[in-house]
Structure 1
Amino acid sequence: MTPKEQGFFFPPEWHPHRATWLTFPHNDHSWQDDKLDRMRPQYLQFIKAISEGELVCLNVNDIRLKARVLQWLSEAGVDLDRIRIVINPTNDAWCRDHGPAFLINPATGERMIVNWEYNAWGGKYPPYGDDDFLPVAIAQYLNLPHVSPGIVMEGGSVEFNGAGTVLTSKSCLLNPNRNPHLNQAQIERYLCDFYGMDQVLWVEGGIVGDDTDGHIDDTTRFVNEDTVVACVEEDPSDENHTILQTNLQMLKEMRLLNGKQLNIIELPMPKPVYINDFRTPGSYANFLICNAGVIVPVFNNPNDDRAIGILEQAFPGRKVIPLLADEIIWGQGSFHCLSQQEPLV
């Protein structure tokens, strides 16, 4: 029986968390030169913000790094009682994509992990064998059952509304560098069977600088069952303008399982975020919803305050926590890319 047939499903991000899982950055190929050292203070503030409301489970590459991590956390004022360090060898830091997908079964109180295959966004960044094994390692650590669908899937490529719908992008999941043997209908079947969904909705593509081939978590996010924030680029001459307008039009034409249209809140893109002449995939949509609030990446950018105000209105009753990510974004991802929530049942 598939997880869906057993009553399991992937809950929305606003479902209460037991913990958030992170993989502590150690690969200086992702943050070249001195940028790993420069991004670390922002990463530590991210850990601290999450830990205000839940446990933070840290995959740490080895014992030697563990000692340094504990020192850095203490110096940053993080409550170590809120931290669980697990020694798990990894290749990179992007836990949203290589980490476990946690399913819950409210009827039985059970949880399960989906062990999707991981190939570093179409084989772009070998080696990735340790990252590919991580969901099994965490399932063993937590003594949870796991199921392996046998196809490539990344957490940043899918977005859930908690009412049977998953949203994704054609540029990523239909890319032949993921699952060339599967067509769109077959991929939809896997998404429904192994995430416990009833409907798959598709936007077209992603933003400039995103090396994932267009992950949904940089462009469109559910904030409740029938509402999304959708990134828009208001400058018609900007490279992101056309693709985000295409996505927006597709969103307007979608219908949920109950037949309703989506409520769409337009979220501006930051003015282009450049580091060393490279345009990074800076996006306010790459936020993490956690127990403490909504942690939003900001970039010392003219559009920061406007985006924060829009997200505060989109999340009534939740604290919006803006944190600088102008060093983190050099790795071509931000807070959502770096994290994976573990839900309560």
Structure 2
Amino acid sequence: MKHLSTTDVTPRALGFAMPPEWEAHAATWMSWPAGDDLWFGHLDAVRAEFAGLVRTIARFEPVHLLTRDAQSRQDADERLVGANVTFHDVPLNDVWIRDNGPLFVTRSPGDVSFVNWRFNAWGGKFDFAEDDRVPEAVAHILNASHWDVPVVLEGGALEIGGAGVALTTRSCLLTDTRNLGLDAGKYADWLREYLGVSKLLWLGAGLENDHTDGHIDTITRFADERTIVTSVEADQMDPNHAVMTANLEALKGMTDAHGNPFRIVELPLPAEYLEGAEGRLPPTYANFYIGNGFVVVPQYGDPNDARALEILTPLFPGREVIGLSSRAIIEGGGSFHCVTQQQPVGTVWTGE
């Protein structure tokens, strides 16, 4: 296993790029919830929803589940009996592996590696020392050579659409609490060399009271290379209305890798206001996760739950679109995409 740095040849130079989520997975990586204080006294309900999510994913592809202590391991074991899950004991702070986990890259004819970006808990908002080490734990488990880079980047801040196109938000990436002095042009350089992004598209901001500063994966997602699903808020008095409307208008003027306009599909936000321990929660249907033959969509017991499934189902032909409860998980500020990380199909690259 090799650790490559910014002084070594880049992934792009070796033909690696991050594939879109809808390409075939070897497995999904997740971290089991722990710490009742992190979940404001709702840990048991969160674990029940997590168990449903893990079991659903494991029907379609293997799940690698990280557990931070003996109690977490025992709890997960009991809830997931018979599921296609491999457990790994790894020190953790929290569950948001989309943001602190490795970002996998692939190349023809089938090599898989990853990039280890820095993680600082969305600009230093929470404890993160253990979570920042998760990619190294994954590297040890897989015996994977990979790149270590000094740039802070969360996986939820970047939406890969295939053909070198990706989406992000200015409100997140351009905060000075992540990479002071790194502007849009320099971000584009890093993402081109280390994830193969040749066309980076910028939206303005995300949802109100999103502690990630507006991750793209809570509002706007690719369904395929030409189709973008974006969140909208009909209530003009809601603070999300103006932001989501501005994003929608910006998307209508963007083009794909070939200069063609995207097909834009509007996805309503949940209709009901949800309050958590720290103010308004950011529930969204855009935080779905795409896997081998399935898409799991968060549900909140909201009047728009069924409508969201109706909109998303025809966008994923050949995949079972499944609604699962995320009413407890959203108390932590995220949902299904935030707690999953896909490992693409391929042979793990050893650097040879």
Normalising by structure 1, we get a TM-score of 0.95
For residues 106 and 299 of structure 1, what CA distance do their matches in structure 2 show? 40
- Secondary structure of the 1:260 match is coil
Counterpart in the other structure of 1:14: 22
For residues 200 and 91 of structure 2, what CA distance do their matches in structure 1 show? 34
For residues 230 and 246 of structure 2, what CA distance do their matches in structure 1 show? 11
For residues 140 and 39 of structure 1, what CA distance do their matches in structure 2 show? 29
> How many aligned residue pairs are there?
337
Counterpart in the other structure of 2:13: 5
For residues 275 and 330 of structure 1, what CA distance do their matches in structure 2 show? 9
5 Å-filtered alignment, 1:192-207, equals 192-207=192-207
- Secondary structure of the 1:116 match is strand
- 1:4–1:197 contact (8 Å) kept in structure 2: no
Cα drift, residue 276 of structure 1: 4.6
Counterpart in the other structure of 1:134: 134
Match of 1:67 among 74, 87, 107: 74
Counterpart in the other structure of 1:286: 287
Cα drift, residue 37 of structure 1: 1.1
Q: What amino acid does structure 2 have at the position aligned with 1:329?
A: I
Cα drift, residue 198 of structure 1: 0.9
Counterpart in the other structure of 2:342: 341
Counterpart in the other structure of 2:261: 261
- 2:276–2:331 contact (8 Å) kept in structure 1: no
For residues 187 and 256 of structure 1, what CA distance do their matches in structure 2 show? 19
Q: Please, which runs of 5 or more residues in structure 1 have no aligned partner?
A: none
For residues 330 and 179 of structure 2, what CA distance do their matches in structure 1 show? 28
5 Å-filtered alignment, 1:292-331, equals 292-331=293-332
For residues 315 and 216 of structure 2, what CA distance do their matches in structure 1 show? 18
Deviations 1:287-316 (A, max 9, x none): 000114100001110111111100012112
Counterpart in the other structure of 2:219: 219
Cα drift, residue 71 of structure 1: 1.1
- 1:167–1:200 contact (8 Å) kept in structure 2: yes
Q: What amino acid does structure 2 have at the position aligned with 1:190?
A: W
For residues 115 and 237 of structure 1, what CA distance do their matches in structure 2 show? 41
Deviations 1:125-183 (A, max 9, x none): 02x11100110110111011110121000000000112111110000001111101211
For residues 131 and 273 of structure 1, what CA distance do their matches in structure 2 show? 31
Counterpart in the other structure of 2:237: 237
Counterpart in the other structure of 1:90: 92
Cα drift, residue 63 of structure 1: 3.5
For residues 110 and 17 of structure 1, what CA distance do their matches in structure 2 show? 13
- 1:136–1:146 contact (8 Å) kept in structure 2: no
- Secondary structure of the 2:37 match is coil
Counterpart in the other structure of 1:152: 152
Identity across matched positions, percent: 41
- 1:88–1:137 contact (8 Å) kept in structure 2: yes
Deviations 1:256-297 (A, max 9, x none): 220101110000111134145732110000000011410000
Please, which moves more after superposition, 114-123 or 175-184? Answer: 175-184
For residues 218 and 236 of structure 1, what CA distance do their matches in structure 2 show? 20
Superposition CA RMSD, Å = 1.2
For residues 272 and 148 of structure 1, what CA distance do their matches in structure 2 show? 42
Cα drift, residue 184 of structure 1: 1.1
Q: What amino acid does structure 1 have at the position aligned with 2:88?
A: V
Q: Please, which runs of 5 or more residues in structure 2 have no aligned partner?
A: 1-8, 347-352
- Secondary structure of the 1:129 match is coil
Deviations 1:43-94 (A, max 9, x none): 10000110011001001113343122201212xxxx33x1110111010110
- 2:188–2:197 contact (8 Å) kept in structure 1: no
- 1:235–1:241 contact (8 Å) kept in structure 2: yes
- 1:50–1:292 contact (8 Å) kept in structure 2: no
Normalising by structure 2, we get a TM-score of 0.93
- Secondary structure of the 1:11 match is coil
For residues 245 and 329 of structure 2, what CA distance do their matches in structure 1 show? 27
- Secondary structure of the 2:119 match is coil
